[in-house]
Amino acid sequence: QARLVESGGGSAQAGGSQKLSCITSGYKWDSNCMAWFLQTPGKEREHVARLEFPSGDTYTADSVKGRFTISQDFTKKTLYLQMESLKPEDTGMYYCAVRGGSCVGFSRPSQYPYWGQGTQVTVSS
């Protein structure tokens, strides 16, 4: 069973930056898709970015494109989300998720069977 643990959340000012980490374990697939989702109060969980292994292809939501970068240390089995130029609307609980197979077309929370507990990010004006 896959296990994921997020860290790196906290408070930041608008225009600032933060880096989230997700340590993974308990699975072995020839290919997989690691993703970050944002849960905003009063709204449904939404896709932020995802990364495909072993291709290295990435997919980023329009709302964060050019500001957030997803990456992975394949040796350490750790997923990262580098967040820059933060905005108040980036506030929420960030979750790490993983599924076996490709990332193509998989941007819905229901398509990911394994999740971490989340890490809170709060951006103030």
Model confidence band, residue 8 (pLDDT cutoffs 50, 70, 90): very high
Residue 29 has what pLDDT?
86
Greatest CA separation for the chain: 43
Residue 59 has what pLDDT?
98
What's the mean pLDDT when you consider all of the chain? 96
Q: Which of 93, 94, 92, 86 is nearest to 22 (CA)?
A: 94
With beta carbons less than 8 A apart as the criterion, state whether 70 and 81 touch. Answer: yes
Residue 85 has what pLDDT?
98
pLDDT tens for residues 59-93?
999 999 999 999 999 889 899 999 999 999 999 99
pLDDT tens for residues 93-116?
999 999 999 999 999 999 999 999
Residue 84 has what pLDDT?
98
Rounded to the nearest angstrom, the gap between the alpha carbon of residue 98 and the centroid of all alpha carbons in its chain is 10
> Quick check: 42 pLDDT over 90?
no
> Quick check: 45 pLDDT over 90?
yes
Q: pLDDT > 70: what percent of the chain? A: 100
Strand partners, 120: 93
Residue 74 has what pLDDT?
87
With beta carbons less than 8 A apart as the criterion, state whether 59 and 49 touch. Answer: yes
